[in-house]
Chains A and B, each alone.
Chain A
Amino acid sequence: MSKDQYVIEKNGNKYEVVIGLEVHAQVLSDSKLFSASATKFGSEPNTQVSLVDAAFPGMLPVINEYCIKQAVKTGIGLNAKIHKKSIFDRKNYFYADLPQGYQISQYKDPIVGEGNVILDLPSGPKTIGIERLHLEQDAGKSIHDIDPGSTLVDLNRSGVALMEIVSKPDLRSPEEVNLYIKKLRSIMRYLGTCDGNMQEGSLRADVNVSVRKFGDDKLGTRCEIKNVNSIKFMQMAIEYEANRQVELLEKGGKIDQETRLFDTKKNQTRSMRSKEDAHDYRYFPDPDLLPLEFNDEYIENVKKEIPELPDQKKNRFIEKFKLTPYEATILVSDLDTSKYFEKVIEKSDVKLSANWITGELFALLNDKNLEISQSPIGPENLSKLLNLISDGTISGKIAKTVFEIMSKDEKDPNLIVKEKGLKQESDPKALEVLIQKVMSSNEDKVKEYKSGKDKLFGFFVGQVMKESKGKGNPQLINKILKEKLNG
């Protein structure tokens, strides 16, 4: 049992948690899966609804080929088998925000079959199996809290294309779920097939959780936690649910296969419906739609549009730029970050760029809760700043000061250095004068140093730096100071 394994221990029994995810990813497309209505998030209720979306009598679905291509692209990005023939089925159930009385989905014959996603764990790469990816329509939205007497329905989302990506039960911890969702999102963002925006609901998941004692081959009975819309909530829900199941088993109880909801306020899952109460969706092939068929040539053409994906980019970064796997993983995890990095290194040192982006820049973004695309310091300005370090104009320490100013006023670092007079003092003569000054006002310390108290060297460096108001070139100060003290 390796140390990064996630273990739940109770009464001396050690349990592992087994997790599978059904991720619902909204296809990035201007129009819906079976109609020409717009898909813009946050529009006025019921302003993006066609007769087809509202299921008027005699209205028929017509497939949006762009959404098909997006699904095929995603399948390729998941190293998955693309099915040349797939079928749209009707999933029948009644709900106020489901105008047709059925959802058009894919049941037995999905567009994409088995594939995989590779996670970069601290202990090394781990492959998570993908069971399938299928296309389906989203439902509308029922709003219960505006009118006390009735439920209002907004059909803007009705008919929007979703990809349901079903993983195999290969995930073993909340942290792996975190990495899996992030990797999946990263791949889809690279592909431009899903914006992965969880706040807007473009990415949400049903989480299947079961537990078993370490060493058991058989999977335990699973519970499905429906519609969780943030990674944090997924992790919280898994932790709660896994512990609930372990406690139940340890008490001699039995897990019921059921659908549960995660209550984000109470940090608990609660039963929504049992297996017996499960809907009978009466799936059958939608007779309004022909089977979806395409040939190898189509798939080959889509493949030509696939950009460099995170794993490939990571390998390139390691090989070409000699980055560590850790640095490369971080820099490719997000498409915008990798673009930022590649922009900075067009003119700046690779190692220095990697350090500053993963260090100072990430800290800044984290602090301000910003995406890299919203960074107050653009790649051009960061590149200029790094070049000021490389050519000795400023020290790394001063650079941090400049960086901080840049984060506030978004100015060109050259300008800041000039205006604030932060240019590094690299004139040996000028530094010698300062060193002489420090030595003469600390004659006793000079004596002590000379009699063998080497540790005082740092003190002298600090004093000289102080005299230079922080602008002294540290390498030069070191060099001259050593000559003077030892001479």
Chain B
Amino acid sequence: MSNITDLSLNELVNNVKSKKISSKEITKAYVERSKKSNKLNTYIERTFDNALKNSEKFDNSPNLEKKLPGIPFAVKDLFCTKGVKTTASSKILENFIPTYESTITQNLWDAGAILLGKLNCDEFAMGSSNETSYFGNVISPISDNLVPGGSSGGSASALAAKLTPATIGTDTGGSIRQPASFTGTVGLKPTYGSCSRYGIVAFASSLDQAGPMTRNVKDCSLLLEVMSSFDPKDSTSVDFKRPNYFTGLNKNIKGKKIGIPKEYRVDGMPKEIDKLWEKGKEYLKDCGAEIVDISLPHTNYALPTYYIVAPAEASSNLARYDGVKYGLRADGENLIDMYEKTRSQGFGEEVKRRIMIGTYVLSSGYYDAYYLKAQKVRKLIKNDFDDVFKKVDAILTPSTPSSAFKVGEKSNDPVSMYLNDIFTVPVNLAGLPGISIPAGLDKNNYPLGLQIIGKPFDEQNILNIAYSMEEKINFKLNIKDWWIK
């Protein structure tokens, strides 16, 4: 048998169910590999000993009916985990230990999964390169000195480096799909309201959505099935009939109409991405799908709209980190002084930048010009999608306008960093499901991804399209274990 950590999530599940491999063996393999991979800086908190204990517990009385029987999982450190430090990669929550569990992680544990540890990400999920973390930047296993993308960079890096069989991230403007694209993995942002936000450290409430990050589409469908649930503790959770994404997965996309939005062909986009997109179209045609040229006229406004809405909500969501109740508190002369010192010391540059932008756009005198206008444009962007979805079943776009960049390359240029989200952000603004699948390599052999955008709650359809394309693309992630001595 090949190395345990080379097996996909689905293969591991099958092996456990047929009692060929124990939970302990799997957990041990991932713990050992993780221990040798500190260089990637993926972990913020390691719960390896507990994971091994829990795997033994599982093996002693295995419940093989579970969907993730005894499978170890490292998760993004934005999910609150009971009794396990949850930092959101911020100094302000450096020592915060929740007394509660997020609904998403609870769903994982209920399905038999075991916590391996908490993964690095951009601070409060604000970033596209995992360089804003208080705990240092994450390195991509693709190449030394390369960013894994962000904000779920630790998740993507750990997944691609085989430090976890699959993982979960959160996506506010592309934080699952962009790092998936950068690391040659699969990442899905579900429809807003599919996955509960309860217990996830909030960034921008109207955009945040948790989703699966996996090595292939099949794993993705399985993990989504486990994650997605109606949750009365989240008022924006939608109570719709959730299909069995995993059993429903198939490659029959014959006759499906796939839209190609002309507005996504942006200036300065590398030729190889354009080529990749063309190739994607061919694959779809090969599968029997029909390609339709479409227009999403307000696409250009998506990024500025996003960078008003998201910081506005963030500026308010992060007000609770004030040194009064939990987390970091710096001593001050009085209450205001304590606030100022706590927040100055506790938040990093990018978080402060967004709090200031958000505060500004909500201020009286600016509210109408920025926030209110952005809300109107957001509606127009949503309408664009509603209109084209009358004609097509899904939309194909590149996941990102470029492949992964070097550490430090964009960290001093926020606008160029923000431009990375140009293809992913409209999906969040419209609350739609989107999946990024690896589709090829650029001239440096860095992975590139394609994104499939679906109708609301039509995850099954985009999973099926991705599943069909995956077979045609036959992408192989060839990572040499350069970081392991």
Q: Which residues of chain A have a CB within 8 Å of any CB of chain B?
A: 51, 54-63, 90, 92, 94-96, 99-102, 151, 153, 280, 282-284, 286-290
Contacts and interface: CB of A to CB of B under 8 A. Distances in A.
14 contacts: A51-B99, A56-B98, A57-B80, A57-B88, A62-B235, A63-B235, A94-B322, A94-B339, A101-B322, A151-B335, A282-B364, A284-B367, A287-B205, A289-B235
Given A102-B319, A287-B205, A57 B96 contact: yes
The 8 closest A-B pairs by CB, nearest first: A101-B319, A287-B206, A282-B362, A287-B205, A58-B199, A55-B320, A57-B201, A58-B80
A387 B166 CA distance: 85
Interface of B: 80, 86, 88, 93, 96, 98-100, 102, 197-202, 204-206, 232-236, 312-313, 315-316, 318-320, 322, 324-326, 335-336, 339, 359, 362-364, 367, 371
A60 B316 contact: no
A59 B231 CA distance: 13
A145 to B, nearest CB: 16
B311 to A, nearest CB: 12
Nearest to A279: B364
A288 B102 CA distance: 16
B151 to A, nearest CB: 16
Nearest to A96: B324
A282 B316 contact: yes
Contacts of B86: 57
Given A96-B335, A287-B205, A61 B235 contact: yes
A60 B235 contact: yes
Given A63-B235, A282-B362, A58 B316 contact: no
Contacts of B371: 284
Given A54-B325, A57-B86, A282-B359, A100 B206 contact: no
Contacts of B339: 94
B325 A92 contact: no
A290 B235 contact: yes
Given A57-B96, A92-B362, A96-B335, 4 more contacts: A57-B93, A58-B102, A100-B320, A282-B315
A288 B324 contact: no
Given A57-B98, A99-B324, A101-B322, A287 B362 contact: no
A283 B318 CA distance: 15
Contacts of A102: 316, 319
Nearest to A93: B319
A58 B198 contact: yes
B104 to A, nearest CB: 10
B197 to A, nearest CB: 6
A223 B394 CA distance: 59
Which of B204, B312, B316, B363 has the most CB atoms of chain A within a 10 A radius of its CB? B316
B62 to A, nearest CB: 31
A60 B96 contact: no
A287 B204 contact: yes
A143 to B, nearest CB: 14
Contact of A92 (B96, B98, B232, B319): B319
B360 to A, nearest CB: 10
B198 A51 contact: no
A92 B205 CA distance: 16
A284 B363 CA distance: 10
A63 B235 CA distance: 8
A101 B102 CA distance: 22
A95 B335 CA distance: 8
B233 A60 contact: yes
A102 B199 CA distance: 19
Given A57-B80, A92-B362, A282-B316, A99 B325 contact: yes
A58 B201 contact: yes
A62 B232 contact: yes
A284 B98 CA distance: 28
Given A56-B100, A57-B88, A100-B319, A282 B363 contact: yes
B328 to A, nearest CB: 13
Contacts of B335: 95-96, 151
B319 A94 contact: yes
A58 B198 CA distance: 6
Nearest to A90: B316
A302 B324 CA distance: 41
A56 B198 CA distance: 11
Interface centre among B96, B235, B236, B359 (most CB of A within 10 A): B235
Contacts of A99: 320, 324-325
Contacts of A284: 312-313, 316, 362, 367, 371
Contacts of A63: 235
B331 to A, nearest CB: 11
Contacts of A55: 320, 325
A270 to B, nearest CB: 21
A153 B315 CA distance: 24
B236 A288 contact: yes
A284 B362 CA distance: 7
A85 B199 CA distance: 28
A356 B206 CA distance: 63
A421 B479 CA distance: 109
Contacts of B96: 57
Nearest to A58: B199
Contacts of B313: 284, 287
A314 B44 CA distance: 70
Contacts of B233: 60, 62
Nearest to B324: A96
Contacts of A282: 315-316, 359, 362-364, 367
